[in-house]
Chain A
C-alpha cells in the first residue's frame, strides 16, 4: 500500500493504455472508428513475444509486433474506406480475427520461459526529484519514456501542424477537405494504419515490458476496450487520454494492493483476505468507466464538444453528406 509503488505501477501499465488510446485518437480524428483495438493489441503482443522467444531479440520483437498491428489495421481500412462498410462491424470482425489468429500463433508460447525483455532505465538527476522522481523516472521500462515523448508529439502534430490540420479537417468535414485538395481517402488510410501501429506497440509493450509472457486472450484482457473508453473520456484529446490511462492503471493497482495489508490506517482492513469483496472490487474499474462516461456525456452536452463530426461515416466523393 505504498502510494509511490502504486503510482509508479500505474504509469507503467498505463503506458499500454496510453499507446492504444493515442492510436485510436489518430484514427477517430480522421473519422474512422476502429473497434478492433483489442484484436490488434493481441496480434502485436503475440508477434512481439514470439519473435523475442525465437530470436532472443526484444527490439526486433517490438518492431515486428508494432508492424503486425498496423498490418491488421490495413484490413479495416480497406473494408471501411474503400468498401464503405459499417465501421462498427468491421472493427468487431477485426477483434474476432485478431483474437483467433493470436491464439493460433501463440499455441506453444505459453510454455516459453523467461525471455530477454526491453531494458529499464533510471534517469540520473530527474530520479532524484522528490515525489515525481521515484514515480516517473526510476526503474521504468524504456517504453514508458517513449510514452512521455509520444504524448506531447502527438498533441503538437494534431493541433499545431499543417498535416494535423488536414487530419482534423478529414474527420470533421471530409467534403470541405476534399474541395481544398486534401486526399480524404489517403489520409484516412494512413491514420487507420497509424492507429494499428500504436495498438500493435501497445500489445508489444505488454509482453516485452510490463507483464511479460503469453497467456492467450488474458494477455490483453480487455485493455483494448478500456483504451476506446479512455478516448471517449478524453474527448479525443491526447493529453487527457494520457492522464486517464495512467489514472486508470493506478486505480487497478490500488484495488489489488488494498487487499494486502492486515491493517489500514490503524484499523482492521475490511478488504484483507475477503473473497466476497474481491469480486466486487474487481467490478470497480468497469463501473468507474461507465460512471466516467456518464459524467463526460453531461459535460459534452454542456460544452457542445464531442466526437469528430464525420466519425463513423464513410466518405463517398460526390455524395451528399458532410
Chain B
C-alpha cells in the first residue's frame, strides 16, 4: 500500500515542489535497520544539541570531549560511570517491562524512593538487630526494597486494571507523595541530630565494592563499583527470559501489541496489568535499595538526580530490550556523571529530551520507506 505523507497532499498545496516526498509502508524491516536508525538518531540529536550549545555561547566540541573524558577516560571514572549506570539499568528495566505492555509507568522515580525507604527500614526501624552479618542483612534489605517498590507500583496497576484510572497521572502523583514520605522520615523519626539525613548504615548493610578487595587485587583500589551492578545485569537476564522465553512474557507482549487480540485469546489483561506494574515497581525498588546500600549508605532526600525519569529514555533507546537497557544505561550514566559539572545545569536534561525526540522521529524510517520522487514538469 502506498500512502503519501500526510503533510504533503499535492492537491491542496498551492506551491508545487519539483519533487515529492513519498512514504511507502514497509512490509518487512531489515534486521540491521533498527540499530542503524537508533545510532543515527542519537548522532543527529547530538548534532542538534551541539548547534544549540553553540548558539548559547558554549563550545559543543569541548563539552562533548569533556563528557567522554570525565566518564570513560580512566578506570576510576569508568567505575564511577558504572555506579551511575546501576540504578539506571534497574529503573530502565522497570520501564521497559511496563512499556512492553503499553503500561505507561512514569512512576519509577517514586518506586525507586520507596525501595530506598524499604531497604533503609530494615536497618533503621530496625528489623534486624545491630551487628547482624551482611549475609542476612543485605538479602533482607533487597526484599524490603523490592517489596516497598512492588507494592507502590501495584497501586497504579490495581487502579488501572479495575477502575480504568489513567496510570500516567497516578504514577506521577505517587512520585510527589513518595518524595514527601522520604522527607518526613529523614526530617522526623530517622533524622540524625536534626539534620535532613539518617545515621550512616552499619558496615553490614553496605553492598561490597571492588575497592573492598584492593588488598588482594591492588588494581581495585578506589573503584566504587558495587554489587548493585550485578543485580542489574542479573535482572536484565531475568527480564529477557520473562519477556521472550516464558508464557507470561508472550502474553505481555501480545497485550502490548494488540490488546484486542489478547482479549480474544482469553488472556487476563487485568491480572497481567497488576503483575507487570508490581514487577516494574519491584525492579525500581531494588534500584533504590542498591543506591542507599551501595553508594549513599544512608537515607537522605537527594538520592536520585531523576533516575526514574531518565529511565524512560533509556528504555526507549534500548527499543524496550533488556540488554539494550544495559548499554543505554552506561551511556546515560556517563551523561549524568559528566553533566553534574556542566553549566548551565539544564544542558543534560535538554540533550536527553532532544535524543528522545530524535529517536521517536526516527521510527518513521522503520515503518515507512522514504522516497524522493521527481515530479513531471
Contact = CB atoms under 8 A, between A and B. Distances in A.
A276 interface: yes
B56 A98 contact: no
Interface residues of B, number: 52
A232 B169 contact: yes
B188 A97 contact: no
Contacts of A106: 346
B344 A279 contact: no
Interface in B155-202: 159, 163-166, 168-170, 172-174, 176-177, 180-181, 183-184, 187-188
B29 interface: no
Contact of A300 (B3, B164, B184, B309): B164
B361 A100 contact: no
The size bracket of the interface on A is 35 or more
Contacts of A183: 12
A111 interface: no
Give the residue among B9, B12, B177, B357 with the most A Cβ atoms within 10 A. B357
Nearest to B358: A93
Q: Is the interface of B mostly helix, strand, loop or mixed?
A: helix
Interface string B345-376: 11111111110110011011001000000000
A100 B356 CA distance: 13
B353 A86 contact: no
B316 interface: yes
Given A82-B6, A96-B352, A104-B56, A293 B360 contact: no
Given A90-B360, A100-B349, A318 B3 contact: yes
Given A83-B361, A83-B363, A300-B164, A279 B346 contact: no
B173 A94 contact: no
A84 B364 CA distance: 7
B179 to A, nearest CB: 9
Contacts of A101: 346, 350, 353
Given A100-B346, A104-B347, A289-B173, A93 B356 contact: yes
Interface in B1-24: 1, 3, 5-7, 9, 12
Given A279-B180, A297-B165, A100 B348 contact: yes
A85 B169 contact: no
A100 B180 contact: no
Contacts of A300: 164
Contact of A275 (B6, B163, B188): B188
Given A85-B360, A100-B347, A283-B180, A275 B187 contact: yes
12 contacts: A82-B6, A83-B360, A83-B363, A84-B367, A96-B352, A97-B350, A97-B354, A107-B343, A185-B6, A228-B169, A283-B180, A290-B165
